[in-house]
Structure 1
Amino acid sequence: MTACACCGAEVDEDGAIDLDLGLPPLAGGVERLAGGDVLLGAESAYVRCVLPVELTGDLELWFSAWMRVTAEDARRAAASWGEESLRLTGTFAHDIKPWDGLDGAEVVAEVVEAGSPPDFVVHPLLGRTWDRDHVLSAFPVELPISIRQELRGPWSVERTSGLTPHLAPDGLRFAGPGRTVFLDTRKAPGVSARCVLELALAGAPSVPADQKHLVENGAELRHALWLTTIRHEFYGHVARFGELLIVTCLYDDPADDAWARHVLNSVRYGA
């Protein structure tokens, strides 16, 4: 981990992530072979393979995914599972966001390392490096690293490691042990940034001067206030002409004040 330059919070930057895409569509009785890595049904057959996808930032994304094969190839895979001679052709059995049109794509897999499942060696996602934030923003799961999460419109914010995103009525929520972030985007067409912020702060609690701050940077105003109760509350606002993003952080550990400031400081508008 490294320390964030803006607030001192620890930030993790790279690593590898394993994601399981779940079982393919199955109908009727299914025979499970090779320890469940080969599925043989009356109308379809599948083999579980590994799809290694390269992302920016020295990150690799490893999908546990299935390919459709013939019943004959399924039996052959089960009989020679883990042997380096095993090579299979078939079609991909998943759709994965943010990509389109992957289900049904022609693919090839082979055992690269003896004793391991086959790796996809021909697949539409192989052969290039994908933007990690754009890709991982599409997965509503807890991640072991921090990413830049895309929000509605041109906004984005850092989703720190260990937080799971959930759709909320007015925006997005990240939640994890001892930490929760609520994100709400609003529009006020034709209203200046200062007026947008004043409207957002109407009815806000009064706090001491050392529990709030306001920073003006060109067309943007960033404001925050925080409360110290049994659970710590941090309310941040990023106001622009006709636009507002509200960042609410709730956390148990007072040391996470730096983390909350980091989340607010990570907000970006536009590319």
Structure 2
Amino acid sequence: MKRVSRRTANLFKGNSEGIETRPLPRLGSRAVTFDTSVRCGCCGTPLPDTDQLDVRFGLPDVAFTAPETTRHQVNAGLLRVEGHGCFARCLLPVQLSGELKLILGTWMRISEADLERARVLWDEPGYSNLTLTGTLANAIKPWGEDLLNADLTAVVRDPDQIPYVATTHDDLLSRVLHTVWDRDQVLRCFGHPLPVRVQTPLDERWSIERTAGMAARVVDGTSQFVGPGRTVYADLFTTARPRTPTEWLASLTEGAPSAEEAHQITEEYAGGLRRAFWRAATVDGRKQHELYGFVIRDDQALAIACMYDDPDDLAWAQHVWRSVVSAD
């Protein structure tokens, strides 16, 4: 991740009189991995959207806090956790908007008898007819705890894959299975790098695009997107007294480093104002490129910093700045 010089870090403070920093929500989830062969655009090759995204949960939720010595892997798809029961891997398909399918590799809690039956059949021809009943063992966001322990039946659709969740009596899990969900609403919950872009909320009003291949996190109240050769920082501010957009901008950029006239853009935006400027800087003896952007509307302002190694990524940085949306 790029380091920010002391002068750069102070840029967003400006004249802080009457300005408060809004804390941003935490992003991300634990113990999930993404299985995709699509190359990351941050590495130099453009990364197009794919029509399927595979996400795998490494363990059932209860296993994360259980001592490692109590976790017994029966095989690649079956697990026994002392004091917590038996578990099997299963696939939960979720249809997202934009014709994108999310396949969640999750866990279900099963009986000891079903564990033994599955173990015997796992690598045998009879596996094709395996049916398992149990309950969901991961609190998958954005549905969270409301989805945990939902009853389900999983069946084998393909002998080369683990069982798929097929039916349930749980209303929420049924909706997860049969509803088309807003792509950004679901994918924003996964902080790991994704092979698709995600419009990521910063609060109930503001959002910004996270580029494909970038991880998301919140550090000391600052939202960050991080990828090879690229980093984005975003901070949200509110003002305690009325200001015009021009006054807002002057306060936020007071003491900012100068930029050539050709390296600045100021535009009207939804009754407010947005401005960006870019420059090259040397940080810790290493040259990097920086774009600073501001989007001002009513009593709020979003400030972003895009750090990038390749000067040709200026278009990317400008796109991120212009991707900021402030809902009415």
Residue 67 (structure 2) pairs with residue 36 (structure 1): no
Residue 66 (structure 2) pairs with residue 22 (structure 1): no
Deviation (angstroms), 1:236: 0.4
Moved more, 103-112 or 75-84: 75-84
Output one character per residue of 1:216-265: Cα deviation in whole Å (capped at 9) or x when no partner: 13412110111123100100000112110001000000000000000011
RMSD: 2.0
Look up the match of 2:133.
89
**Contact 1:157/1:267 (8 A) holds in 2:** yes
Structure 2 unaligned regions, length at least 5: 1-37, 39-45, 282-286
Look up the match of 1:5.
none
Partners of 2:71 and 2:251 lie apart in 1 by 60
Deviation (angstroms), 1:41: 4.3
Residue 232 (structure 2) pairs with residue 181 (structure 1): yes
Percent identical among aligned pairs is: 35
3-state SS in 2 of match to 1:95: coil
Residue 154 (structure 2) pairs with residue 109 (structure 1): yes
Look up the match of 2:163.
118
Look up the match of 2:101.
60
3-state SS in 2 of match to 1:247: strand
Look up the match of 1:134.
185
Residue 180 (structure 2) pairs with residue 144 (structure 1): no
3-state SS in 1 of match to 2:92: strand
3-state SS in 1 of match to 2:312: helix
Change (3 A) 1:48 1:11: closer
3-state SS in 2 of match to 1:84: helix
Structure 1 unaligned regions, length at least 5: 2-9
- Structure with the larger RCO, 1 or 2 (CA within 8 Å, 6+ apart): 2
3-state SS in 2 of match to 1:228: strand
- The residue identity in structure 2 corresponding to 1:236 is G
**Contact 1:45/1:70 (8 A) holds in 2:** yes
Partners of 1:156 and 1:222 lie apart in 2 by 15
Provide TM-score, normalisation by structure 1. Answer: 0.91
Deviation (angstroms), 1:42: 4.6
Provide TM-score, normalisation by structure 2. Answer: 0.76
Look up the match of 1:6.
none
Look up the match of 1:12.
48
Output one character per residue of 1:17-47: Cα deviation in whole Å (capped at 9) or x when no partner: 11122212245644432x3311134541111
Look up the match of 1:155.
206
1:195-234 correspondence to structure 2 within 5 Å: 195-229=247-281, 230-234=287-291
Change (3 A) 1:121 1:169: same
Output one character per residue of 1:74-118: Cα deviation in whole Å (capped at 9) or x when no partner: 111111126221011100001012113111100110000123210
3-state SS in 2 of match to 1:126: helix
Look up the match of 2:326.
269
3-state SS in 1 of match to 2:159: coil
Change (3 A) 1:161 1:218: closer
Residue 319 (structure 2) pairs with residue 253 (structure 1): no
**Contact 2:47/2:195 (8 A) holds in 1:** no
Stretches (4+) displaced over 4 A:
none
- The residue identity in structure 2 corresponding to 1:137 is R
Deviation (angstroms), 1:208: 1.4
- The residue identity in structure 2 corresponding to 1:232 is H
Deviation (angstroms), 1:192: 2.3
Moved more, 243-252 or 108-117: 108-117
- The residue identity in structure 2 corresponding to 1:96 is I
Change (3 A) 1:162 1:30: closer
Residue 113 (structure 2) pairs with residue 72 (structure 1): yes
